[in-house]
């Protein structure tokens, strides 16, 4: 039987409460934080951890309904109603829905989803964030990162504010598409818009999985074309540019400290720097240059370089390597990064210098002198502001420019193609240099740690560093020496001689010449003579077939000859290359020029019979 009730709970007596008796009932009386007098019934539990203690009984302000759903399961649902009549109305709706499920008019999923339709979206967002925090992704094997969860929260909340949604029933695909269109007009990139659409589609899928929605209203939402609206196209640096950038990164801290910034000597390298300060600045520049070299020769992402530790690196073995933990890799797979010998030597010297600095500092502070660095210490102390440091290094190396816009500097890192260079572009440089050196795609894909091969060259290859013409010269020579090479070259005029199709060119004595292959009959005729007589005794409405000279095909030609042809002499040679073929040679001359030898016809060319119908016959023009 369905019931409506308010839950009661017991709590300890408030501080300063006095016990009074009214109508044979013991009551507690006290004043709350606002100074108002409150009373509550006192009860003494007979069991449990509060057995024998005086406790006050508090009743909930809103009603709860208890009923049996369509599957026969007893459920308690909070109505949120303080009025019993309103709570009973909610109970009636729940019982009606249970009857619909029993009658199979409504599915169980639709009934469960209906329970969540009145819940505010903020509560759903909080539950979804908890899901992302603990849910193990089957793709990576790890839960979502804090940065990923924060991006999801931003995307969901911004759309809710823009569209005015409050509950799940308000979700509307057309509204989301309209909001994305407005953001496109405001200048939002295609990739950013796609991330908003992906966030909402993922949230709706979670709502379906948790029976909050029956279907995803944003399923198969059209994506914007990211290739056609790329906001940041990266470029790679060649070896000379990289060497110049690393040299500038090493020297710029000292140069900046020695540069005079004000006065008449502004810009001169005359400022005094102490020896101790110079050593610190040189160390800082060395770390910057080593970081750039590490990014270039490993293809690691910036945060992956930051995650490398001294204990996970082998620099003295025959095959130096650095261990990248799965939790620190983007794909969450983990890998051993091979290190080139010179890079391993640079890292070893860097660690030795750090150990000396740590030992000197411990000696000055009267602490135990360490014999080695901690295994958990980072391999390279990458500065947090490396992006801004790189911008200034690019300007100093002549690879970028900067302009002052108000109180800030604006950096232009684009090349002549409009492509820019940033920290992640070191990864593109790594792959592009390997490709330019002829390293196979499979090898480059493994070094880049890409699962699909298409990503390696589609997003991380700069064709400017790859000599495409030299690649063409690596293709094998393919001569056509099959016994007919000399004859074929002579027939096509590619044998280097001055004549052109000598056996078939028309002469004044022989306007139309015929030829045959394999004993085939001569297939040549003049369509119209200068006097206007019709060849073969009939009016020719179209070109006759090749295998039946002088006879029409039996149907009206849909592409008749040009009207200008009827007034000219059209010497035609139909040279079949087989017994029954439509591949022929066609020679066309103007009536004014007549038929002259080849030397008098420098513009003579061979065209196909199908293209002959479209030729014009302007007076004096040679075709």
Name residue 59's beta-bridge partners. Answer: 8
What pLDDT was estimated at residue 577? 43
Are the CB atoms for 615 and 590 separated by under 8 Å?
no
The single residue listed with the structure tokens 């000219």 is 568
In a domain, 472, yes or no: no
Q: Is 40 helix (H, G, I), strand (E, B) or coil?
A: strand
Element (H, E) at 277: helix 275-298
Pair 155, 7 in one domain: no
d(CA 230, CA 30): 68
Closest residue by Cα to residue 413 from 233, 252, 288: 233
DSSP one-letter code for 493: T
User: What is the domain-level CATH number for residue 211?
Assistant: 1.10.150.130
Q: Structurally, how many domains does the chain consist of?
A: 4
What pLDDT was estimated at residue 153? 96
Name residue 39's beta-bridge partners. Answer: 29
CB-based contacts of 154-160 (< 8 A; 24+ apart in sequence): 155/195, 155/196, 155/199, 155/200, 156/121, 156/125, 156/128, 156/199, 156/200, 156/203, 157/125, 158/196, 159/196, 159/200, 160/121
In a domain, 22, yes or no: yes
In a domain, 467, yes or no: no
What pLDDT was estimated at residue 297? 92
Token output for 498: 């001055």
In a domain, 379, yes or no: yes
- Produce one character per residue of 270-303: b if its CB has 16 or more CB atoms within 10 Å, e if not: eeeeeeeeeebbebbbbbbbbbbbbbbbbbbbbe
What pLDDT was estimated at residue 404? 85
Sorted by sequence, the CB contacts under 8 Å of residue 184 that are 6+ apart come out as 190, 193, 224
Domain boundary among 396, 422, 443: 443
Closest residue by Cα to residue 278 from 298, 254, 260: 254
Pair 260, 386 in one domain: yes
Q: Which spans in 186-268 are helix H?
A: 190-209, 239-258
What pLDDT was estimated at residue 73? 85
Are the CB atoms for 28 and 18 separated by under 8 Å?
yes
In a domain, 494, yes or no: no
Q: Which spans in 562-608 are helix H?
A: none
What pLDDT was estimated at residue 548? 44
d(CA 105, CA 483): 83
Pair 528, 569 in one domain: yes
User: What is the domain-level CATH number for residue 327?
Assistant: 1.10.443
Are the CB atoms for 10 and 43 separated by under 8 Å?
yes
Pair 591, 529 in one domain: yes
Count helices and strands (H / E) in the chain: 17, 13
Pair 327, 350 in one domain: yes
Question: In angstroms, what is the C-alpha Rg of the chain?
Answer: 43
Closest residue by Cα to residue 574 from 615, 605, 598, 609: 609
Pair 411, 303 in one domain: yes
In a domain, 90, yes or no: yes
What pLDDT was estimated at residue 622? 40
Cα 214–chain centre separation: 31
Are the CB atoms for 546 and 574 separated by under 8 Å?
yes
Structure confidence by residue, pLDDT tens digits, 551-587:
444 555 555 554 444 444 444 443 444 444 333 444 4
Are the CB atoms for 409 and 308 separated by under 8 Å?
no
Pair 302, 244 in one domain: yes
Pair 345, 381 in one domain: yes
What pLDDT was estimated at residue 102? 84
What pLDDT was estimated at residue 186? 93
In a domain, 480, yes or no: no
Domain boundary among 207, 229, 251: 229
Pair 94, 35 in one domain: yes
CB neighbourhood size of 198 (10 A): 15
Provide the CB-side half-sphere exposure for 91 (13 A, CA). Answer: 21
Q: Is 267 left (phi over 0), alpha (psi -120 to 50) or beta?
A: left
Q: Report how far apart, in Å, the C-alpha atoms of 387 and of each of 291, 292, 383, 425 are.
A: 12, 11, 9, 11
Angle formed at CA 27 by CA 26 and CA 32, multiple of 5 degrees: 165
DSSP string, 111-130: HHHHTTTTSBHHHHHHHHHH
Pair 246, 171 in one domain: no
DSSP one-letter code for 21: E
Pair 134, 274 in one domain: no
Token output for 355: 């150990």
Are the CB atoms for 118 and 110 separated by under 8 Å?
no
Sorted by sequence, the CB contacts under 8 Å of residue 453 that are 6+ apart come out as 441, 442, 445
Name residue 355's beta-bridge partners. Answer: none
Pair 134, 45 in one domain: no
Q: Residues in the chain with pLDDT < 70?
A: 1, 452-454, 457-459, 461, 463-623
Domain boundary among 60, 81, 104: 104
439 phi and psi, to 5 degrees?
A: -70, 130
In a domain, 88, yes or no: yes
Domain that holds residue 131: 116-229
Q: Report how far apart, in Å, the C-alpha atoms of 62 and of each of 9, 253, 593 are.
A: 13, 68, 108
Find the Cα–Cα–Cα–Cα dihedral 95, 101, 104, 106, rounded to 10°: 100
CB neighbourhood size of 504 (10 A): 15
């Amino acid at each position: 039987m369905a019931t409506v009730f308010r839950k009661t709970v017991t709590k300890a007596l408030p501080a300063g409460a006095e016990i009074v008796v009214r109508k044979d009932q013991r009551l507690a009386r006290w004043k709350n934080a606002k100074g108002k007098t409150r009373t509550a019934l006192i009860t003494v539990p007979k069991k449990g951890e509060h057995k024998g203690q005086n406790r006050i009984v508090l009743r909930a302000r809103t009603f709860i309904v208890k009923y049996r759903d369509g599957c026969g399961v007893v459920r308690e649902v909070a109505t949120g109603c303080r009025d019993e009549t309103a709570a009973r109305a909610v109970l009636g709706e729940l019982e009606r829905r249970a009857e619909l499920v029993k009658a199979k008019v409504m599915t169980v999923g639709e009934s469960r989803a209906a329970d969540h339709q009145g819940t505010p979206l903020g509560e759903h967002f909080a539950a979804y964030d908890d899901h992302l925090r603990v849910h193990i992704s089957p793709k990576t094997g790890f839960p979502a990162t804090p940065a990923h969860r924060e991006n999801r929260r931003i995307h969901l909340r911004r759309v809710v504010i823009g569209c005015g949604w409050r509950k799940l029933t308000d979700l509307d695909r057309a509204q989301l598409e309209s909001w994305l269109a407005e953001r496109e007009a405001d200048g939002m990139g295609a990739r950013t818009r796609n991330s908003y659409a992906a966030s909402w589609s993922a949230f709706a899928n979670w709502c379906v999985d948790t029976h909050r929605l029956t279907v995803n209203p944003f399923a198969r939402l059209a994506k914007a074309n990211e290739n056609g609206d790329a906001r940041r196209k990266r470029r790679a640096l060649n070896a000379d540019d990289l060497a110049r950038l690393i040299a500038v990164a090493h020297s710029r801290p000292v140069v900046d400290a020695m540069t005079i910034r004000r006065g008449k000597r502004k810009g001169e390298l005359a400022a005094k720097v102490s020896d101790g300060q110079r050593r610190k600045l040189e160390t800082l520049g060395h770390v910057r240059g080593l970081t750039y070299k590490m990014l270039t020769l490993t293809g690691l992402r910036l945060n992956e370089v930051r995650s490398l530790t001294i204990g996970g690196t082998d620099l003295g073995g025959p095959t130096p390597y650095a261990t990248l933990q799965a939790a620190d890799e983007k794909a969450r797979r983990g890998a051993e990064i091979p290190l080139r010998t010179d890079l391993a030597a640079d890292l070893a010297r860097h660690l030795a210098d750090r150990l000396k600095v740590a030992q000197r500092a411990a000696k000055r502070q009267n602490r135990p002198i360490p014999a080695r660095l901690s295994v958990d210490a980072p391999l390279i102390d990458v500065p947090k502001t490396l992006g801004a440091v790189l911008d200034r290094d690019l300007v100093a190396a002549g690879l970028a420019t900067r302009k002052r816009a108000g109180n800030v500097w604006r950096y232009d890192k684009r090349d002549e193609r409009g492509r820019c260079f940033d920290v992640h572009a070191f990864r593109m440089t790594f792959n592009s240099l390997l490709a330019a050196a002829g390293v196979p795609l499979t090898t480059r894909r493994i070094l880049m740690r890409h699962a699909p091969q298409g990503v390696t060259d589609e997003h991380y290859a700069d064709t400017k560093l790859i000599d495409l013409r030299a690649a063409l010269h690596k293709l094998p020579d393919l001569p056509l020496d099959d016994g007919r090479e000399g004859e074929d070259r002579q027939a096509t005029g590619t044998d280097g001689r001055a004549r052109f199709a000598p056996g078939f060119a028309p002469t004044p004595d022989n306007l139309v010449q015929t030829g045959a292959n394999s004993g085939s009959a001569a297939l040549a005729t003049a369509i119209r003579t200068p006097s206007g007589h019709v060849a073969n005794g009939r009016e020719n409405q179209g070109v006759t077939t090749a295998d039946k000279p002088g006879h029409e095909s039996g149907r009206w030609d849909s592409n008749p000859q040009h009207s200008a042809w009827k007034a000219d002499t059209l010497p035609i040679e139909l040279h079949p290359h087989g017994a029954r073929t439509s591949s022929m040679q066609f020679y066309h001359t103007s009536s004014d020029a007549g038929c002259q030898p080849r030397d008098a016809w420098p513009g003579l060319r061979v065209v196909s019979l199908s293209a002959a119908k479209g030729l014009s016959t302007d007076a004096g023009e040679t075709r």
